[in-house]
Amino acid sequence: MSALSEFVREELATPVDPRVAAMASAIAAEYPGSARAVLFYGSCLRESELDGLMLDFYLIVSDYGDAYPKRWMAVANRLIPPNVFPFQHGGLIAKYAVLSEADFDRLNGPETRNVSVWARFAQPSRLVWAVDGTAHDRAIAAVSRAAPTLLSAAGRRAGEAPLDWWRRAFSLTYSVELRAERTSRAQSVVDADAARYERISAPAIAAIPADATGGRWARRRFEGKLLSVARLAKASLTYAGGIDYLAWKINRHAGTKIEIKPWQRRWPLVAALTLVPRLMKSGAIR
């Protein structure tokens, strides 16, 4: 096993709050026969008090066709991954994104310009449920691809310290997606756990392929913004209360006071498509 895989294996095995593990098991139970693994990620990893927060999970399934009774949901997940759903368990609230094992591996690697998965899993995460040892090992292998992909995509500048490389790489990924967070958020991702990024730097850099090339960020930004809008539009159809969640997240990170009107709840797709350009113009999201 490589040094990077060993680092990822140990990090993913870090214990979590028992309520997080219970919620992961409950999410998996919603997909009998197709659930393969559940990963916990995001800012809540650093929180000891979870009440009132929205936890973030990725559910990895064997195949979209096996995961959904409705064919159109499988098609939506395959065409614009992932599908995202709200969840409640044990007094906590969460959302979880669904990816197949194949897509989870692919979207953590350099073969995609889509930053959303490898940018997230280059950050700390926890593997809180797996159906068996094979699913466990495949999840580790997929997550191990994320950090080298992130650093490679950013490209290293001469004389650049590893932590500065990480900060710049996350800043680039934040510029690709629609974000309500302040511009300092990408920096704080690294600074909140600088020792972790120091430890993972050497094995992640060593895992970058010799023929890897960075760049193409202008194209990534153009495609990423379009993809973000497409995901929001899709979420308005697949995510119950999605328009309210969108407003909550923007208000939380951007300090705005968006209030969703009744018509916007009745027509969430129209609301999402009209709200996003207005928020971008005002600077609430970028």
Of 213, 236, 252, which residue is a domain's last? 213
Joined tokens for residue 1: 């096993």
Residue 48 has pLDDT above 70, yes or no: yes
Sign of the alpha-carbon dihedral angle for 193, 197, 250, 240: negative
CA dist., res. 260 & res. 262, Å (int): 7
187 and 272 together in one domain: no
Picking from 189, 213, 237, the residue at the C-terminal end of a domain is 213
- β-bridge partners, 43: none
Residue 277 has a pLDDT of 65
Most confident of 50-54, 237-241, 242-246: 50-54
| Average pLDDT value for the chain | 87
Pairing of strands 83-89, 54-61: unpaired
- Mean pLDDT in residue range 149-177: 93
Which residues span the domain enclosing 56? 3-213
**Model confidence band, residue 223 (pLDDT cutoffs 50, 70, 90):** confident
Tell me: do 191 and 100 sit in the same domain: yes
**Mean per-residue pLDDT, 279-283:** 60
* 71 and 147 co-located in one domain: yes
Q: How does DSSP classify residue 284? A: S
User: Would the pLDDT of 106 be above 80?
Assistant: yes
Within 8 A by CB and 6+ apart from 227, the residues are 80, 114, 116
Q: Measure the CA–CA gap between 8 and 147, rounded to whole angstroms.
A: 10
- Rounded Cα distance between 45 and 67, Å, is 27
Reported as a pLDDT band with limits 50, 70 and 90, residue 125 is very high
> Worst-scoring range by mean pLDDT, 54-58, 92-96, 120-124, 253-257?
253-257
**Rounded mean pLDDT of 65-74?**
94
Q: What is the DSSP string of 226-280?
A: HHHHHHHHHHHHHSTTHHHHHHHHHHHHH-------HHHHHSHHHHHHHHHHHHH
Minimum mean pLDDT among 37-41, 183-187, 240-244: which range? 240-244
pLDDT of residue 9: 98
- Verify that 70 and 20 share a domain, yes or no: yes
- Tell me, what's the pLDDT at 249? 62
**What is the SS3 assignment for 36?**
strand
**Residues 205, 64: one domain?**
yes
What total of structural domains would you count in the chain?
A: 2
Question: Whole-angstrom Cα distance, residue 63 to residue 35?
Answer: 9
Residues 195 and 80 in one domain: yes
Q: Do both 237 and 104 map to the same domain? A: no
Structural domain ending residue among the three candidates 162, 184, 213: 213
Please report the DSSP string for 101-168 in residue order. HHHHHHHTSTT----HHHHHHTS-EEEEEESSHHHHHHHHHHHHTHHHHHHHHH-PPTT--HHHHHHH
pTM of the model: 0.85
CB atoms within 10 A of CB 41: 18
186 and 229 fall within a common domain: no
- Domain match, 39 and 175 both: yes
262/231 Cα distance (integer angstroms): 22
Q: Which residue has the tokens 């040094």?
A: 3
Give the span between the Cα atoms of 267 and 237, in whole angstroms. 9
Residue 99 has pLDDT above 60, yes or no: yes
**Residue 257 or residue 142, greater confidence:** 142
Q: In terms of domains, do 241 and 112 share one?
A: no
The better pLDDT of the pair 99, 239 is held by 99
